[in-house]
């Protein structure tokens, strides 16, 4: 046990995040090391300072502004049978509709060709004409702001 070992565990020691054995080892060292004891006292004070920052509240109107923003965002979302959602501005709706029609036609043509060539029946196609396990869109994530198309492959009721 030395100061370097304790140094890497100081925050966890202060926050009670060490397991019992490590906690005892650090405590034993600190009881004999003025330098580490002082370091702990200072960093504990820093933690207290941060935790003591006043709990500042937003403006009273902030909640209604947030709700308004969410409502506005919701009206820009297009859903197809609760499964597949596109987030588009109104200008994009026309393009989306055209793309949907084109996709259905292409899938239909390919299906006919496959049946003719292989002579093997294909699995049933969903009502929308999409094979849910074969069509992928660029994945979207709440942790990313860049992409606005999502497809989960499972029913969603949002």
Partner 1 sequence: MIIAGTTTSTGENTKEMFEDLLKRTHQQAFHLALRLTGSRTDAEDLVQEAYLRAFRFFHRYDPSLPFTSWLYRIMTNAHIDDIRRKGKLKTSSLDEPHPETGVTWDLPDDSASPERLVVNSLMEAEIQDGLNRMTPDFRVAVLLADIEGLSYEEVASIMKTSIGTVRSRIHRGRKQLRSFLLKAKPEKYRGMLE
Binding site for partner 1 (CB under 8 A): 8-12, 15, 17, 42-43, 45-47, 49-51, 53-58, 62-63, 65-67, 69-70, 73-82, 87, 93, 140-145, 150, 152, 156-158
Q: 83: exposed, middle or buried (C-beta count within 10 Å: 0-12, 13-18, 19+)?
A: middle
**Which CB, 117 or 143, lies closer to partner 1?**
143
**CB burial of residue 30 (10 Å; 0-12, 13-18, 19+):** buried
In whole angstroms, the minimum distance from the beta carbon of 86 to partner 1 comes to 10
Least distance to partner 1, CB of residue 44, Å? 9
Half-sphere exposure of 74 (CA within 13 A, CB side): 7
Nearer Cβ to partner 1 (114/139): 139
| CA nearest to 124, candidates 7, 115, 116, 81 | 115
Pair of tokens at residue 40: 């702990």
CB of 65 to partner 1, least distance (A): 8
CB of 93 to partner 1, least distance (A): 8
CB 81 within 8 A of CB 128: yes
Cβ nearer to partner 1, comparing 61 with 133: 61
Shorter beta-carbon distance to partner 1: residue 55 or 116: 55
């Amino acid at each position: 046990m030395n100061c370097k070992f304790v140094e890497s565990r100081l925050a966890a020691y202060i926050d009670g995040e060490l397991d019992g054995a490590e906690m005892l080892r650090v405590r034993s060292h600190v009881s004999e090391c003025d330098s580490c004891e002082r370091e702990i006292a200072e960093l504990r004070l820093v933690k207290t300072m941060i935790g003591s920052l006043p709990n500042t509240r937003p403006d009273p109107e902030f909640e209604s502004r947030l709700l308004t923003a969410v409502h506005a965002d919701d009206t820009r979302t297009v859903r197809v049978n609760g499964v597949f959602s596109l987030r588009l501005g109104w200008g994009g709706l026309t393009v989306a509709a055209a793309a949907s029609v084109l996709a259905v036609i292409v899938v239909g043509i390919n299906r006919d060709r496959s049946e003719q060539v292989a002579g093997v029946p294909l699995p049933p196609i969903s009502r929308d004409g999409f094979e849910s396990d074969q069509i992928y869109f660029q994945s979207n994530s709440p942790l990313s702001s860049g992409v606005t198309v999502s497809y989960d492959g499972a029913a969603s009721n949002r």
